[in-house]
Amino acid sequence: DKAGHKHFMAKEITEQPAVIGDALGHYLSADGRDVILPGGDGLDFTQIDRMTMVACGTAYYACLTAKYWFEQLARLPVEVDIASEFRYREPPIPPRGVALFVSQSGETADTLAALRYCAGKAERIVSVVNVDESSIARESDLALPIHAGVEIGVASTKAFTCQLTVLLLLAIKAAKARGTLSEDAVADLLSKLRGLPATINIALEMDDDFKKAARRLAEADNALFLGRGLMYPLALEGALKLKEISYIHAEAYASGELKHGPIALIDKRMPVVVMAPRDALFDKTVSNMQEVMARDGKVILITDRRGAEAADGGIWRLLTLPEVDPVLSPILYAIPAQLLAYHTAVAKGTDVDQPRNLAKSVTVE
Ligand code: M6R
């Protein structure tokens, strides 16, 4: 049932405020000042020296985002890998380490194989899953459900933002346990998280703006996505979404890499989607944008009000999101990444929910 939407993907995009709210409801303590994991306090972050996160596709980008959170908030070193690389590299698993696997379906063959490789070697096997009864959930010491509800569109949307939500909650819990965030700082972040579904609703109401930008994107053969820090994994996710459903060739780079190669691609036919809230790294991103515009590249800037004010003229399309604490920005900026891809695909008339050559769950290598 598409609930009046043209595609399951559109329905699942609009469900995000509700399912994120639901996920928060499952993990927050009654007073809202603490994160409670299912099955009690089985994960002692004071006894852990490092974390290894493994996944595929969009779930891998959720892990890349979470690396920033665990390192910055909890000062916990994190290694992230693609499951198909990890499993055959047979990496040494250090003691006092947690191995964490993220998978919507819980059945992705490479992720499951990577989990089995770590079983008995890592201190704890933790998974972040949408399907509670899945193989990955069953074979973990601790399975953390994301409460996204059934996701039908092959392009993952609400599962991604719910994965991010649960991973951020886990990072906040780790930070509290390790004493790297004060109790008040934790309570403050958690209260901002509770306000996020309402902020996402505001972004969803900008649907027409994304549709207009997408109409132009649909004319392109190639697109580049740029982001720094927490926005770098989001740029990767935006490029993957666009490729999957609109079949436009898209690549993502950390903005600082522009000069090291991809700038050679910029000409007047190259749209460049820049994801950049006004955070500590914003000025550096502005200078990357100027380099793109000086070569006639078409910049689509996704930012907030202060970013829009600070960005110079010459921007092709400006999309202004509500302001959020920079820590939460990946969850909000997932919305424009999804809506740009969605409307581009609709404009091109592709099969949004069942893109060619793709399966919802990749249970073979
Ligand atoms: O079920 P999983 O989360 O393990 O699936 C991982 C990837 O196959 C999946 O995220 C894929 O990249 C999606 N089609 C992305 O939209």
Ligand 1 atom having least distance to the Cα of 157:
16
Buried/exposed code over 83-111 (b: 16+ C-beta within 10 A; e: otherwise): bbebbeeebeeeeebbbbbbbbbbbbbbb
Cα(6) to ligand 1 centroid in Å equals 22
Decide: 106 and 135 in contact? Cβ < 8 Å. yes
The pLDDT of residue 157:
98
The pLDDT of residue 253:
97
- DSSP assigned state of 50: E
Residues with catalytic function? 360
Q: What is the identity of the amino acid at 134? A: S
Q: H-helix or E-strand containing 18?
A: helix 16-27
Q: Is the full-model pTM beyond 0.80?
A: yes
Cα(143) to ligand 1 centroid in Å equals 18
Contact residues of ligand 1, CB 6 A cut-off: 56-59, 103-105, 108, 111, 154-156, 244, 358, 361-362
- Nearest residue by C-alpha to atom 8 in ligand 1: 57
Instruction: Give the three-class secondary structure for 29.
Output: coil
The pLDDT of residue 346:
97
Q: What Å distances lie between residue 20 and 145, 154, 159, CA to CA? A: 12, 19, 9
Hey, what are 270's tokens? 């190259």
* Residue in 8, 340, 312 with CA at minimum distance from that of residue 206: 340
| CA angle, 241 then 302 then 22, to 5° | 65
The Cα–Cα gap between 255 and 63 comes to: 19
Residues in the chain, pLDDT under 70: 41
Please choose from 156, 237, 246, 360 the residue to mutate so as to test ligand 1's pocket, defined by most ligand atoms within 8 A of CB. Answer: 156
The pLDDT of residue 244:
97
The complex scores an ipTM of 0.99
* Tokens 């994190």 sit on residue: 78
Q: H-helix or E-strand containing 278?
A: none
Decide: 210 and 319 in contact? Cβ < 8 Å. yes
- Nearest residue by C-alpha to atom 12 in ligand 1: 57
Hey, what are 64's tokens? 């890349």
List, edge to edge, every strand of the sheet that includes 124-129: 78-82, 50-55, 97-103, 124-129, 142-145
Please choose from 54, 82, 104 the residue to mutate so as to test ligand 1's pocket, defined by most ligand atoms within 8 A of CB. Answer: 104
The pLDDT of residue 265:
94
- Nearest residue by C-alpha to atom 11 in ligand 1: 57
